[in-house]
Structure 1
Protein backbone atom coordinates (compact mmCIF):
# COMPACT_ATOMS: atom_id res chain seq x y z
CA UNK A 1 0.00 0.00 0.00
CA UNK A 2 2.76 2.39 0.96
CA UNK A 3 4.74 1.47 -2.16
CA UNK A 4 1.70 2.08 -4.37
CA UNK A 5 1.15 5.54 -2.85
CA UNK A 6 4.84 6.32 -3.25
CA UNK A 7 4.79 5.34 -6.94
CA UNK A 8 1.67 7.43 -7.49
CA UNK A 9 3.33 10.39 -5.79
CA UNK A 10 6.46 10.01 -7.93
CA UNK A 11 4.41 9.86 -11.15
CA UNK A 12 2.48 12.99 -10.19
CA UNK A 13 5.72 14.78 -9.35
CA UNK A 14 7.22 13.85 -12.71
CA UNK A 15 4.15 15.05 -14.64
CA UNK A 16 4.03 18.24 -12.59
CA UNK A 17 7.72 18.90 -13.25
CA UNK A 18 7.28 18.20 -16.96
CA UNK A 19 4.34 20.59 -17.08
CA UNK A 20 6.42 23.30 -15.45
CA UNK A 21 9.40 22.71 -17.73
CA UNK A 22 7.56 22.70 -21.06
CA UNK A 23 7.13 26.51 -21.21
CA UNK A 24 10.77 26.94 -20.17
CA UNK A 25 12.00 24.57 -22.87
CA UNK A 26 9.71 26.22 -25.41
CA UNK A 27 11.09 29.64 -24.52
CA UNK A 28 14.67 28.38 -24.81
CA UNK A 29 14.03 26.80 -28.23
CA UNK A 30 12.32 29.98 -29.44
CA UNK A 31 15.20 32.14 -28.25
CA UNK A 32 17.69 29.86 -30.01
CA UNK A 33 15.67 29.80 -33.26
CA UNK A 34 15.31 33.57 -33.25
CA UNK A 35 18.60 34.82 -31.88
CA UNK A 36 21.25 32.13 -32.31
CA UNK A 37 20.86 29.83 -35.29
CA UNK A 38 20.12 32.56 -37.89
CA UNK A 39 23.59 33.90 -37.05
CA UNK A 40 25.42 30.54 -37.24
CA UNK A 41 26.48 30.50 -40.88
CA UNK A 42 27.59 27.12 -42.23
CA UNK A 43 30.52 27.47 -44.67
CA UNK A 44 29.96 24.21 -46.53
CA UNK A 45 32.97 23.05 -48.56
CA UNK A 46 32.72 20.15 -51.00
CA UNK A 47 34.33 18.72 -54.12
CA UNK A 48 32.07 18.26 -57.13
CA UNK A 49 33.22 15.78 -59.79
CA UNK A 50 31.61 16.85 -63.08
CA UNK A 51 31.89 14.41 -66.01
CA UNK A 52 32.42 16.99 -68.76
CA UNK A 53 34.75 19.26 -66.81
CA UNK A 54 38.00 19.61 -68.75
CA UNK A 55 41.35 19.17 -66.98
CA UNK A 56 42.11 22.87 -67.37
CA UNK A 57 39.28 23.65 -64.92
CA UNK A 58 40.17 21.03 -62.32
CA UNK A 59 40.30 22.83 -58.96
CA UNK A 60 38.07 25.69 -60.13
CA UNK A 61 36.36 27.18 -57.09
CA UNK A 62 32.80 28.54 -57.12
CA UNK A 63 31.13 30.11 -54.09
CA UNK A 64 27.34 30.26 -53.96
CA UNK A 65 25.18 32.47 -51.79
CA UNK A 66 21.42 32.71 -52.05
CA UNK A 67 18.24 34.22 -50.62
CA UNK A 68 19.62 37.23 -48.78
CA UNK A 69 16.13 38.64 -48.18
CA UNK A 70 17.93 41.72 -46.96
CA UNK A 71 14.84 43.51 -45.65
CA UNK A 72 13.50 40.60 -43.57
CA UNK A 73 16.87 39.25 -42.42
CA UNK A 74 17.12 40.83 -38.97
CA UNK A 75 20.92 40.76 -38.71
CA UNK A 76 21.65 41.61 -42.35
CA UNK A 77 23.35 44.97 -41.85
CA UNK A 78 25.82 43.60 -39.32
CA UNK A 79 26.28 40.06 -40.63
CA UNK A 80 26.49 40.50 -44.40
CA UNK A 81 29.77 42.51 -44.36
CA UNK A 82 31.33 39.84 -42.13
CA UNK A 83 30.12 37.03 -44.40
CA UNK A 84 31.47 38.77 -47.50
CA UNK A 85 34.83 39.31 -45.81
CA UNK A 86 34.99 35.59 -45.04
CA UNK A 87 33.94 34.68 -48.60
CA UNK A 88 36.70 36.82 -50.07
CA UNK A 89 39.27 34.94 -48.01
CA UNK A 90 38.57 31.85 -50.14
CA UNK A 91 39.97 33.62 -53.21
CA UNK A 92 37.25 32.10 -55.41
CA UNK A 93 37.39 31.88 -59.17
CA UNK A 94 33.69 32.73 -59.41
CA UNK A 95 30.89 33.82 -57.07
CA UNK A 96 27.23 33.17 -57.90
CA UNK A 97 24.10 34.55 -56.24
CA UNK A 98 20.96 32.51 -56.90
CA UNK A 99 18.20 35.03 -56.30
CA UNK A 100 15.88 36.65 -53.76
CA UNK A 101 17.96 39.65 -52.80
CA UNK A 102 14.94 41.11 -50.99
CA UNK A 103 11.57 39.95 -49.66
CA UNK A 104 9.50 42.99 -50.57
CA UNK A 105 10.23 46.65 -51.30
CA UNK A 106 13.88 47.03 -52.36
CA UNK A 107 13.91 50.83 -52.44
CA UNK A 108 14.58 51.11 -48.70
CA UNK A 109 17.60 48.81 -48.83
CA UNK A 110 19.14 49.38 -52.23
CA UNK A 111 22.15 51.36 -51.04
CA UNK A 112 23.05 48.82 -48.35
CA UNK A 113 22.78 46.01 -50.90
CA UNK A 114 24.89 47.85 -53.47
CA UNK A 115 27.59 48.66 -50.93
CA UNK A 116 27.83 45.10 -49.63
CA UNK A 117 27.57 43.23 -52.92
CA UNK A 118 30.20 45.47 -54.51
CA UNK A 119 32.68 44.07 -51.97
CA UNK A 120 32.42 40.53 -53.39
CA UNK A 121 35.64 39.64 -55.21
CA UNK A 122 36.33 36.72 -57.55
CA UNK A 123 38.77 36.21 -60.41
CA UNK A 124 36.09 35.68 -63.06
CA UNK A 125 33.50 37.96 -61.49
CA UNK A 126 30.15 37.65 -59.74
CA UNK A 127 27.09 36.26 -61.55
CA UNK A 128 23.47 36.39 -60.44
CA UNK A 129 19.94 35.34 -61.28
CA UNK A 130 16.74 36.83 -59.90
CA UNK A 131 14.29 35.00 -57.65
CA UNK A 132 10.52 35.11 -57.34
CA UNK A 133 10.57 37.76 -54.59
CA UNK A 134 12.78 40.00 -56.73
CA UNK A 135 10.20 39.90 -59.51
CA UNK A 136 7.21 40.50 -57.24
CA UNK A 137 8.29 44.04 -56.48
CA UNK A 138 10.60 46.53 -58.23
CA UNK A 139 12.91 44.27 -60.20
CA UNK A 140 14.11 47.22 -62.29
CA UNK A 141 15.74 48.97 -59.34
CA UNK A 142 17.39 45.70 -58.32
CA UNK A 143 18.85 45.29 -61.80
CA UNK A 144 20.31 48.78 -61.66
CA UNK A 145 21.78 47.98 -58.25
CA UNK A 146 23.42 44.77 -59.49
CA UNK A 147 24.98 46.60 -62.41
CA UNK A 148 26.29 49.37 -60.14
CA UNK A 149 27.70 46.74 -57.75
CA UNK A 150 29.55 44.99 -60.58
CA UNK A 151 27.40 41.85 -60.74
CA UNK A 152 26.31 40.35 -64.05
CA UNK A 153 22.74 39.08 -64.18
CA UNK A 154 22.05 36.13 -66.46
CA UNK A 155 18.60 36.14 -68.05
CA UNK A 156 18.21 32.92 -70.04
CA UNK A 157 21.79 33.39 -71.20
CA UNK A 158 25.26 31.93 -70.83
CA UNK A 159 28.55 33.24 -69.44
CA UNK A 160 31.44 31.21 -70.85
CA UNK A 161 34.89 31.04 -69.28
CA UNK A 162 37.84 29.98 -71.43
CA UNK A 163 41.13 28.40 -70.43
CA UNK A 164 43.28 27.59 -73.45
CA UNK A 165 40.96 25.52 -75.67
CA UNK A 166 38.62 24.49 -72.85
CA UNK A 167 35.37 26.14 -71.77
CA UNK A 168 33.19 26.19 -68.68
CA UNK A 169 29.66 27.43 -69.36
CA UNK A 170 27.68 29.12 -66.57
CA UNK A 171 24.04 29.53 -67.57
CA UNK A 172 21.38 31.52 -65.76
CA UNK A 173 17.66 30.87 -66.09
CA UNK A 174 15.04 33.57 -65.58
CA UNK A 175 12.58 32.99 -62.75
CA UNK A 176 10.37 29.95 -63.35
CA UNK A 177 7.67 31.06 -60.88
CA UNK A 178 7.02 34.11 -63.03
CA UNK A 179 6.94 32.02 -66.20
CA UNK A 180 10.08 33.65 -67.60
CA UNK A 181 12.33 30.60 -67.82
CA UNK A 182 13.46 29.45 -71.26
CA UNK A 183 15.80 26.48 -71.07
CA UNK A 184 15.64 25.95 -74.85
CA UNK A 185 17.17 29.38 -75.39
CA UNK A 186 20.04 28.41 -73.10
CA UNK A 187 20.60 25.00 -74.68
CA UNK A 188 21.05 26.68 -78.05
CA UNK A 189 23.95 28.69 -76.61
CA UNK A 190 26.05 25.81 -75.24
CA UNK A 191 27.82 22.88 -76.85
CA UNK A 192 27.56 19.29 -75.68
CA UNK A 193 31.31 18.78 -75.25
CA UNK A 194 32.06 21.16 -72.40
CA UNK A 195 30.79 21.35 -68.83
CA UNK A 196 27.74 23.53 -68.19
CA UNK A 197 26.40 24.69 -64.82
CA UNK A 198 22.89 26.12 -64.51
CA UNK A 199 21.91 28.80 -62.00
CA UNK A 200 18.19 28.44 -61.29
CA UNK A 201 16.52 30.02 -58.28
CA UNK A 202 13.90 27.28 -57.82
CA UNK A 203 15.48 23.84 -57.22
CA UNK A 204 12.56 21.82 -58.58
CA UNK A 205 13.39 23.27 -61.99
CA UNK A 206 15.89 20.40 -62.09
CA UNK A 207 13.09 18.18 -63.36
CA UNK A 208 13.03 20.38 -66.48
CA UNK A 209 16.74 21.11 -66.88
CA UNK A 210 18.05 17.58 -66.32
CA UNK A 211 16.23 15.90 -69.26
CA UNK A 212 17.98 18.26 -71.70
CA UNK A 213 21.20 16.37 -71.00
CA UNK A 214 23.21 19.58 -71.30
CA UNK A 215 23.89 20.44 -67.65
CA UNK A 216 26.33 18.74 -65.30
CA UNK A 217 25.21 20.71 -62.25
CA UNK A 218 22.36 22.99 -61.19
CA UNK A 219 22.79 25.44 -58.31
CA UNK A 220 19.61 26.69 -56.63
CA UNK A 221 18.19 28.28 -53.47
CA UNK A 222 14.60 29.40 -52.84
CA UNK A 223 13.47 26.91 -50.17
CA UNK A 224 15.77 28.02 -47.30
CA UNK A 225 15.83 24.32 -46.43
CA UNK A 226 12.44 24.98 -44.86
CA UNK A 227 14.02 27.26 -42.18
CA UNK A 228 12.57 24.90 -39.56
CA UNK A 229 13.70 21.28 -39.83
CA UNK A 230 11.95 19.17 -37.21
CA UNK A 231 13.32 15.79 -36.12
CA UNK A 232 11.61 12.87 -37.89
CA UNK A 233 9.12 15.07 -39.80
CA UNK A 234 11.38 17.60 -41.54
CA UNK A 235 10.19 21.02 -42.68
CA UNK A 236 6.55 21.88 -41.83
CA UNK A 237 6.29 24.08 -44.93
CA UNK A 238 8.14 24.43 -48.22
CA UNK A 239 7.48 26.88 -51.06
CA UNK A 240 6.18 26.07 -54.49
CA UNK A 241 8.95 24.75 -56.77
CA UNK A 242 11.06 24.05 -53.68
CA UNK A 243 9.29 21.01 -52.29
CA UNK A 244 11.08 18.09 -53.96
CA UNK A 245 14.68 19.17 -53.46
CA UNK A 246 14.68 21.59 -50.49
CA UNK A 247 18.31 21.39 -49.33
CA UNK A 248 21.60 19.71 -50.09
CA UNK A 249 23.03 17.49 -52.82
CA UNK A 250 20.92 15.44 -55.23
CA UNK A 251 21.21 13.58 -58.49
CA UNK A 252 18.43 13.90 -61.04
CA UNK A 253 19.15 11.73 -64.05
CA UNK A 254 22.74 12.46 -65.10
CA UNK A 255 22.70 15.94 -63.57
CA UNK A 256 23.69 16.91 -60.05
CA UNK A 257 21.74 19.51 -58.08
CA UNK A 258 22.79 21.48 -55.05
CA UNK A 259 20.18 23.48 -53.12
CA UNK A 260 21.66 26.15 -50.86
CA UNK A 261 19.75 26.91 -47.62
CA UNK A 262 20.18 30.65 -48.09
CA UNK A 263 21.31 33.38 -45.72
CA UNK A 264 18.12 35.25 -44.88
CA UNK A 265 14.60 34.36 -43.79
CA UNK A 266 11.02 35.04 -44.83
CA UNK A 267 7.66 34.88 -43.05
CA UNK A 268 9.21 34.22 -39.62
CA UNK A 269 12.75 35.47 -38.82
CA UNK A 270 13.76 32.12 -37.34
CA UNK A 271 15.77 29.02 -38.16
CA UNK A 272 15.83 25.70 -36.34
CA UNK A 273 18.08 22.77 -37.27
CA UNK A 274 18.56 24.54 -40.61
CA UNK A 275 21.42 27.09 -40.37
CA UNK A 276 22.15 29.67 -43.07
CA UNK A 277 24.69 28.56 -45.63
CA UNK A 278 27.53 29.64 -47.88
CA UNK A 279 28.43 26.87 -50.35
CA UNK A 280 32.05 26.50 -51.50
CA UNK A 281 32.47 24.14 -54.45
CA UNK A 282 35.78 22.90 -55.82
CA UNK A 283 35.16 21.47 -59.28
CA UNK A 284 36.97 18.27 -60.19
CA UNK A 285 37.61 16.76 -63.59
CA UNK A 286 37.33 12.95 -63.62
CA UNK A 287 40.33 12.90 -65.97
CA UNK A 288 42.55 14.48 -63.33
CA UNK A 289 41.10 14.23 -59.86
CA UNK A 290 41.50 11.27 -57.56
CA UNK A 291 38.68 12.70 -55.45
CA UNK A 292 35.86 10.28 -54.83
CA UNK A 293 32.40 11.27 -55.98
CA UNK A 294 30.13 9.84 -53.32
CA UNK A 295 27.16 8.08 -54.96
CA UNK A 296 23.95 10.06 -54.70
CA UNK A 297 20.66 8.15 -55.08
CA UNK A 298 18.53 9.42 -57.95
CA UNK A 299 16.20 12.23 -56.91
CA UNK A 300 17.38 12.17 -53.31
CA UNK A 301 20.26 13.42 -51.20
Structure 2
Protein backbone atom coordinates (compact mmCIF):
# COMPACT_ATOMS: atom_id res chain seq x y z
CA UNK A 1 0.00 0.00 0.00
CA UNK A 2 2.81 2.40 0.93
CA UNK A 3 4.54 1.55 -2.36
CA UNK A 4 1.41 2.49 -4.31
CA UNK A 5 1.06 5.80 -2.47
CA UNK A 6 4.72 6.68 -3.08
CA UNK A 7 4.40 5.74 -6.75
CA UNK A 8 1.32 7.94 -7.18
CA UNK A 9 3.02 10.86 -5.45
CA UNK A 10 6.12 10.50 -7.63
CA UNK A 11 3.99 10.37 -10.78
CA UNK A 12 2.05 13.46 -9.67
CA UNK A 13 5.31 15.31 -9.00
CA UNK A 14 6.65 14.33 -12.42
CA UNK A 15 3.44 15.47 -14.10
CA UNK A 16 3.51 18.78 -12.23
CA UNK A 17 7.14 19.35 -13.24
CA UNK A 18 6.36 18.54 -16.87
CA UNK A 19 3.35 20.93 -16.91
CA UNK A 20 5.52 23.66 -15.38
CA UNK A 21 8.16 23.04 -18.05
CA UNK A 22 5.55 23.28 -20.83
CA UNK A 23 4.21 26.57 -19.46
CA UNK A 24 7.54 28.30 -19.99
CA UNK A 25 8.35 26.94 -23.42
CA UNK A 26 8.80 29.34 -26.33
CA UNK A 27 7.16 28.14 -29.53
CA UNK A 28 7.05 30.35 -32.62
CA UNK A 29 4.51 29.15 -35.16
CA UNK A 30 4.69 30.34 -38.75
CA UNK A 31 1.68 30.76 -41.02
CA UNK A 32 1.11 32.21 -44.46
CA UNK A 33 -1.83 33.70 -46.33
CA UNK A 34 -2.03 34.37 -50.04
CA UNK A 35 -3.39 37.88 -50.77
CA UNK A 36 -4.03 38.59 -54.45
CA UNK A 37 -4.17 42.37 -53.88
CA UNK A 38 -0.52 42.39 -52.82
CA UNK A 39 1.87 42.49 -55.81
CA UNK A 40 3.28 39.07 -56.64
CA UNK A 41 6.61 38.50 -54.93
CA UNK A 42 5.99 41.00 -52.13
CA UNK A 43 5.50 39.89 -48.53
CA UNK A 44 4.43 41.48 -45.26
CA UNK A 45 5.26 39.81 -41.95
CA UNK A 46 3.29 40.21 -38.71
CA UNK A 47 4.47 39.02 -35.31
CA UNK A 48 1.41 38.23 -33.20
CA UNK A 49 1.62 37.59 -29.46
CA UNK A 50 -1.18 37.53 -26.90
CA UNK A 51 -1.74 36.70 -23.24
CA UNK A 52 1.77 37.40 -22.01
CA UNK A 53 0.45 37.87 -18.45
CA UNK A 54 3.35 37.25 -16.03
CA UNK A 55 5.95 35.95 -18.47
CA UNK A 56 9.14 37.75 -19.38
CA UNK A 57 10.10 37.88 -23.05
CA UNK A 58 13.65 36.59 -23.29
CA UNK A 59 16.41 37.78 -25.59
CA UNK A 60 16.52 34.37 -27.26
CA UNK A 61 13.03 34.83 -28.69
CA UNK A 62 13.74 38.35 -29.95
CA UNK A 63 17.09 37.39 -31.50
CA UNK A 64 15.49 34.42 -33.28
CA UNK A 65 13.01 36.58 -35.20
CA UNK A 66 14.56 40.06 -35.36
CA UNK A 67 14.68 41.23 -38.98
CA UNK A 68 12.02 38.69 -39.98
CA UNK A 69 8.89 40.75 -39.21
CA UNK A 70 7.57 44.18 -40.16
CA UNK A 71 5.20 44.91 -37.27
CA UNK A 72 4.18 43.51 -33.88
CA UNK A 73 0.55 43.02 -32.83
CA UNK A 74 -0.27 42.35 -29.16
CA UNK A 75 -3.64 40.67 -28.75
CA UNK A 76 -4.34 41.78 -25.18
CA UNK A 77 -3.53 40.55 -21.67
CA UNK A 78 -0.08 42.05 -21.84
CA UNK A 79 -0.16 42.04 -18.04
CA UNK A 80 -2.40 41.36 -15.06
CA UNK A 81 -2.83 42.20 -11.38
CA UNK A 82 0.38 41.78 -9.42
CA UNK A 83 2.76 42.08 -12.38
CA UNK A 84 5.36 44.83 -11.78
CA UNK A 85 5.07 47.67 -14.28
CA UNK A 86 8.80 47.44 -14.99
CA UNK A 87 8.33 43.89 -16.29
CA UNK A 88 5.64 45.11 -18.69
CA UNK A 89 7.95 47.93 -19.75
CA UNK A 90 10.76 45.43 -20.33
CA UNK A 91 8.51 43.23 -22.48
CA UNK A 92 7.37 46.17 -24.58
CA UNK A 93 10.95 47.31 -25.14
CA UNK A 94 11.81 43.79 -26.24
CA UNK A 95 8.95 43.75 -28.74
CA UNK A 96 9.84 47.20 -30.06
CA UNK A 97 13.17 45.79 -31.23
CA UNK A 98 11.17 43.91 -33.87
CA UNK A 99 9.26 46.87 -35.31
CA UNK A 100 6.27 49.17 -34.63
CA UNK A 101 4.00 47.75 -31.91
CA UNK A 102 0.18 47.75 -32.05
CA UNK A 103 -1.95 46.73 -29.09
CA UNK A 104 -5.54 45.94 -28.07
CA UNK A 105 -6.73 45.69 -24.47
CA UNK A 106 -7.37 42.32 -22.84
CA UNK A 107 -9.65 41.63 -19.89
CA UNK A 108 -6.77 41.54 -17.37
CA UNK A 109 -4.72 44.53 -18.54
CA UNK A 110 -6.57 47.28 -16.71
CA UNK A 111 -6.00 45.47 -13.39
CA UNK A 112 -2.64 47.25 -13.12
CA UNK A 113 -4.24 50.68 -13.61
CA UNK A 114 -5.17 52.06 -17.01
CA UNK A 115 -3.39 55.36 -16.37
CA UNK A 116 -0.16 53.45 -15.66
CA UNK A 117 -0.48 51.61 -18.95
CA UNK A 118 -1.33 54.74 -20.93
CA UNK A 119 1.75 56.53 -19.59
CA UNK A 120 3.89 53.55 -20.50
CA UNK A 121 2.41 53.25 -23.99
CA UNK A 122 2.90 56.95 -24.64
CA UNK A 123 6.52 56.93 -23.51
CA UNK A 124 7.31 53.91 -25.72
CA UNK A 125 5.17 54.98 -28.71
CA UNK A 126 2.89 51.94 -28.57
CA UNK A 127 -0.11 52.28 -30.88
CA UNK A 128 -3.37 51.49 -29.05
CA UNK A 129 -6.25 50.24 -31.18
CA UNK A 130 -9.32 51.08 -29.14
CA UNK A 131 -12.25 50.74 -31.56
CA UNK A 132 -10.04 52.22 -34.26
CA UNK A 133 -7.82 51.34 -37.22
CA UNK A 134 -4.44 52.27 -38.66
CA UNK A 135 -2.55 51.83 -41.92
CA UNK A 136 0.20 49.27 -41.33
CA UNK A 137 2.61 50.03 -44.14
CA UNK A 138 3.58 53.17 -46.02
CA UNK A 139 4.71 50.92 -48.86
CA UNK A 140 1.24 49.39 -49.10
CA UNK A 141 -1.34 51.84 -47.71
CA UNK A 142 -4.18 49.40 -48.36
CA UNK A 143 -2.97 47.21 -45.46
CA UNK A 144 -5.12 48.29 -42.52
CA UNK A 145 -5.22 46.91 -38.97
CA UNK A 146 -8.54 47.23 -37.12
CA UNK A 147 -8.75 46.66 -33.36
CA UNK A 148 -11.45 46.85 -30.72
CA UNK A 149 -11.62 47.48 -27.00
CA UNK A 150 -11.86 44.60 -24.55
CA UNK A 151 -15.48 43.48 -24.28
CA UNK A 152 -15.26 42.32 -20.68
CA UNK A 153 -14.17 45.60 -19.10
CA UNK A 154 -14.24 48.20 -21.88
CA UNK A 155 -16.88 49.26 -24.39
CA UNK A 156 -16.75 47.64 -27.82
CA UNK A 157 -17.93 49.65 -30.81
CA UNK A 158 -17.47 47.61 -33.97
CA UNK A 159 -18.92 50.28 -36.26
CA UNK A 160 -16.55 52.91 -34.90
CA UNK A 161 -13.59 50.57 -35.32
CA UNK A 162 -14.33 50.13 -39.03
CA UNK A 163 -15.47 53.66 -39.87
CA UNK A 164 -12.21 54.66 -41.63
CA UNK A 165 -12.05 51.47 -43.68
CA UNK A 166 -12.06 51.83 -47.47
CA UNK A 167 -13.43 49.30 -49.91
CA UNK A 168 -10.00 48.52 -51.34
CA UNK A 169 -8.37 47.95 -47.92
CA UNK A 170 -6.81 44.62 -47.05
CA UNK A 171 -8.17 44.26 -43.53
CA UNK A 172 -6.56 42.60 -40.52
CA UNK A 173 -8.87 42.48 -37.50
CA UNK A 174 -7.51 41.97 -33.99
CA UNK A 175 -9.53 41.39 -30.84
CA UNK A 176 -8.63 39.86 -27.52
CA UNK A 177 -11.63 37.53 -27.53
CA UNK A 178 -12.45 35.54 -30.70
CA UNK A 179 -16.15 35.83 -29.88
CA UNK A 180 -16.06 39.15 -31.79
CA UNK A 181 -14.98 37.57 -35.09
CA UNK A 182 -18.60 37.15 -36.16
CA UNK A 183 -19.49 40.76 -35.36
CA UNK A 184 -16.60 42.01 -37.49
CA UNK A 185 -17.63 39.81 -40.41
CA UNK A 186 -21.18 41.13 -40.26
CA UNK A 187 -20.12 44.67 -41.15
CA UNK A 188 -16.89 44.16 -43.09
CA UNK A 189 -14.66 41.63 -44.85
CA UNK A 190 -11.46 41.03 -42.84
CA UNK A 191 -8.83 39.02 -44.68
CA UNK A 192 -7.11 37.96 -41.45
CA UNK A 193 -8.57 37.82 -37.94
CA UNK A 194 -6.41 37.50 -34.81
CA UNK A 195 -7.34 36.70 -31.20
CA UNK A 196 -6.16 34.98 -28.04
CA UNK A 197 -7.81 34.94 -24.58
CA UNK A 198 -8.75 31.25 -24.42
CA UNK A 199 -5.23 29.85 -23.81
CA UNK A 200 -6.33 26.75 -25.71
CA UNK A 201 -7.92 25.64 -22.44
CA UNK A 202 -4.39 25.78 -20.92
CA UNK A 203 -4.73 22.28 -19.46
CA UNK A 204 -6.19 19.63 -21.73
CA UNK A 205 -6.70 15.89 -21.32
CA UNK A 206 -6.36 14.63 -24.86
CA UNK A 207 -9.03 16.41 -26.93
CA UNK A 208 -10.84 17.65 -23.82
CA UNK A 209 -10.36 21.17 -22.46
CA UNK A 210 -12.30 24.08 -21.04
CA UNK A 211 -11.86 25.90 -24.35
CA UNK A 212 -10.98 24.90 -27.88
CA UNK A 213 -7.32 24.47 -28.69
CA UNK A 214 -5.72 27.33 -30.62
CA UNK A 215 -5.66 27.09 -34.41
CA UNK A 216 -4.89 28.78 -37.71
CA UNK A 217 -7.71 28.17 -40.15
CA UNK A 218 -7.66 29.01 -43.83
CA UNK A 219 -11.04 29.63 -45.44
CA UNK A 220 -10.62 30.25 -49.16
CA UNK A 221 -8.58 33.48 -49.29
CA UNK A 222 -9.12 34.35 -45.61
CA UNK A 223 -7.64 33.15 -42.31
CA UNK A 224 -8.55 33.04 -38.62
CA UNK A 225 -5.88 32.69 -35.93
CA UNK A 226 -6.83 31.92 -32.34
CA UNK A 227 -3.65 31.63 -30.28
CA UNK A 228 -3.00 29.45 -27.26
CA UNK A 229 -1.24 32.54 -25.91
CA UNK A 230 2.27 33.07 -24.62
CA UNK A 231 1.71 33.05 -20.87
CA UNK A 232 -0.68 31.58 -18.33
CA UNK A 233 -3.20 32.87 -15.86
CA UNK A 234 -3.91 31.35 -12.46
CA UNK A 235 -1.51 28.44 -12.09
CA UNK A 236 1.60 28.58 -14.35
CA UNK A 237 0.90 25.14 -15.78
CA UNK A 238 0.06 23.81 -19.24
CA UNK A 239 -0.79 20.44 -20.70
CA UNK A 240 -1.90 19.71 -24.25
CA UNK A 241 -1.96 23.41 -25.21
CA UNK A 242 1.59 24.62 -25.59
CA UNK A 243 2.34 28.36 -25.30
CA UNK A 244 2.85 30.02 -28.65
CA UNK A 245 3.44 33.22 -30.57
CA UNK A 246 3.20 33.63 -34.31
CA UNK A 247 4.70 34.97 -37.50
CA UNK A 248 2.04 35.48 -40.17
CA UNK A 249 3.25 36.19 -43.69
CA UNK A 250 0.92 37.89 -46.15
CA UNK A 251 2.14 36.87 -49.61
CA UNK A 252 1.40 38.56 -52.90
CA UNK A 253 0.04 36.08 -55.41
CA UNK A 254 -2.46 35.70 -58.23
What is the TM-score normalised by the length of structure 1? 0.75
The alpha carbon displacement at 1:115 in A equals 2.8
Cα distance in 2 between the residues matched to 1:152 and 1:133: 19
SS in 2 for 1:113: helix
Provide the residue aligned with 1:6 in structure 2: none
State the Cα distance separating 1:277 from its structure 2 match. Answer: 0.8
Select 2:39's aligned residue among 38, 52, 55: 55
Q: Which runs of 5+ in 1 are unaligned?
A: 1-14, 239-244, 288-301
Match of 1:256 in 2: 223
The CA deviation at 1:46 is 1.4
Whether the 8 Å CA contact 2:133–2:162 is kept in 1: the answer is no
The DSSP-based 3-state class of the residue aligned with 1:116 is helix
1:128-139 equivalent positions in 2, closer than 5 A: 128-139=103-114
Partner of 2:73: 96
Do the aligned partners of 1:206 and 1:252 also contact (CA within 8 Å) in 2?
A: no
Aligned to 1:267: 234
Do residues 215 (structure 1) and 190 (structure 2) align?
yes
1:115 to 2:100 alignment: no
Distance apart, 1:169 and its partner CA: 0.3
> Considering only CA atoms, is the larger Rg found in Structure 1 or Structure 2?
1
Matched, 1:229 2:207: no
Post-superposition CA distance 1:155-201 (Å, at most 9, x none): 11111134557510011111122251111012221112120101101
Specify whether residues 161 and 137 from structure 1 end up closer, same or farther in structure 2 by C-alpha distance, changes over 3 A only: closer
- Within 5 Å, give how 1:1-301 maps onto structure 2: 21-34=7-20, 36-50=21-35, 53-55=37-39, 58-70=42-54, 73=55, 76=56, 79-88=57-66, 90-106=67-83, 109-121=84-96, 125-163=100-138, 166-233=141-208, 235=209, 237-238=210-211, 246-250=213-217, 255-287=222-254
Cα offset, 1:126, TM superposition:
1.0
What secondary structure is seen at the aligned counterpart in 1 of 2:94?
Answer: coil
Query: Normalized against structure 2, the TM-score is what?
Result: 0.87
Conserved 8 A contact 1:50-1:284: yes
SS at match of 2:216: strand
Gaps of at least 5 residues in structure 2 are none
Larger mean Cα displacement after TM superposition, 37-46 or 165-174: 165-174
Q: How far off its partner does 1:47 sit?
A: 0.9
Query: What is the Cα deviation at residue 265 of structure 1?
Result: 0.8
